[in-house]
Chain A
Amino acid sequence: MGSARSNGPGPDAGPSGGDAAGDAAPVLAAHKILIAGGFGAGKTTLVGTISEVRPLLTEERLTTASTGLDDLRGVAGKTTTTVAMDFGRITISERLLLYLFGVPGQERFWFMWDELSYGALGAVVLADVRRLRDCFPSVNYFETRGLPFVVAINCFDDAPHYDPAEVRVALDLDPDVPAVLCDARNLESVKNVLITLVDSISSGASQLAAPRA
């Protein structure tokens, strides 16, 4: 740390532009957080609120998505399923990146889950109280995998208000799984969701590391 060297002209530099002192580059590490939840639960909004969002194309098989297969009740205006995955990057430091991947909740996309969840830090399950059952598969999935997750109840303006404790019961969450209210459009709120997740991961990790405590 502490080197004041400029990083050079960046990735646009010509192919043989190379006097870049590549050896001295800091070792880059990147971590994944999955954003799951039912169709229309607010994954795209959440990712866009907190991170630098850029399009990320996934495999072509996703383009076979058909509007007829998706349940559009309560999400009028959402008429297509995007081929590009919700993908955001949070630059923690020049050598530490955090990536958010919105994983489509519909079952036909599950082939992506295994790959994305492998080695992931944890996950956020976005819940819409009007369609709570939509996030059952996500909750089941992360419970089965033992991947740390937090349930974030997205407070839509026109949705009834529920206490997180009620949602917790409805989802039959384990006591160590945090459930928080959130507004996917609000930066502080989304920050709180991710901080809650990382906090719960690190307390879980310290329990593993220091079982005698």
Chain B
Amino acid sequence: MPPDGKWVRRDTGPVVRPYAVTGGRTQPAAGEVLDVVAVVVASERSTAATDDPLRQTPEHRKILRLCQRPVTVADIASDTALPVGVVRVLLADLILQQAVTVVRNRPTTAQLPGNDVLKEILNGLRAL
């Protein structure tokens, strides 16, 4: 935090109320709640769906572009500068349209990653 109080984050405060881009909806239309680290990817049909301006807002299309390869909900939120909750609502729309599929939702609490994954994380951290 800079002492001079200068704004360092371009999206510290949105100009438009966050849920305006969801048409006021604060709850995802359907499906399981996506974790912040859930991984999603555009499905095969996504290119066709992209062309439907009635079903997709610019934000939907922006998200769809980011989903051209597997990506986390957190990264989408960060890249689009949209709040996580808004991204969830828009992603649920895209999942309903079968434009996006969930590759992996959150891990369950009981299911810790295996020792091989932990070892990989340890090695990765040591290499930083």
Decide if A118 touches B39 in the complex (CB within 8 Å): no
Q: Which residues does chain B contribute within 8 Å of A16, judged by CB atoms?
A: 47, 50
Pick the contact of A11: B50, B66, B83 (CB < 8 A).
B66
Check A201 for interface membership: any CB of B closer than 8 A.
yes
Given contacts A90-B125, A115-B36, 15 further A-B contacts (CB under 8 A): A15-B64, A22-B41, A27-B70, A27-B103, A28-B70, A29-B39, A29-B104, A54-B78, A56-B77, A57-B82, A59-B85, A60-B19, A93-B124, A96-B124, A195-B125
| Nearest CB in chain B: distance from A170 CB, A | 28
Check A72 for interface membership: any CB of B closer than 8 A.
no
| Nearest CB in chain B: distance from A78 CB, A | 6
A residues contacting the other copy or chain, number (CB 8 A): 62
Decide if B107 touches A119 in the complex (CB within 8 Å): yes
A-B residue pairs in contact (CB < 8 Å), sample of 19 = A11-B66, A11-B71, A11-B79, A15-B47, A25-B41, A50-B128, A54-B78, A55-B10, A56-B77, A58-B83, A59-B84, A83-B12, A90-B125, A97-B72, A118-B35, A119-B109, A187-B128, A198-B122, A201-B118
Interface, chain B (partner A; CB < 8 A):
1, 3, 5, 9-14, 17-19, 35-37, 39, 41-42, 47, 50, 61, 64-66, 68-72, 74-75, 77-79, 81-85, 103-104, 106-109, 112-113, 115, 117-122, 124-126, 128
Nearest to B43 among chain A residues (CB) is A22
Contact of A20 with B68 at beta-carbon distance under 8 Å, contacts A28-B104, A96-B121, A121-B113 already known: yes
Decide if B13 touches A90 in the complex (CB within 8 Å): no
Task: Report Cα–Cα, A6/B100, bound state, in Å.
Answer: 23
Decide if B9 touches A55 in the complex (CB within 8 Å): yes
Task: Report Cα–Cα, A155/B110, bound state, in Å.
Answer: 34
Nearest to A17 among chain B residues (CB) is B68
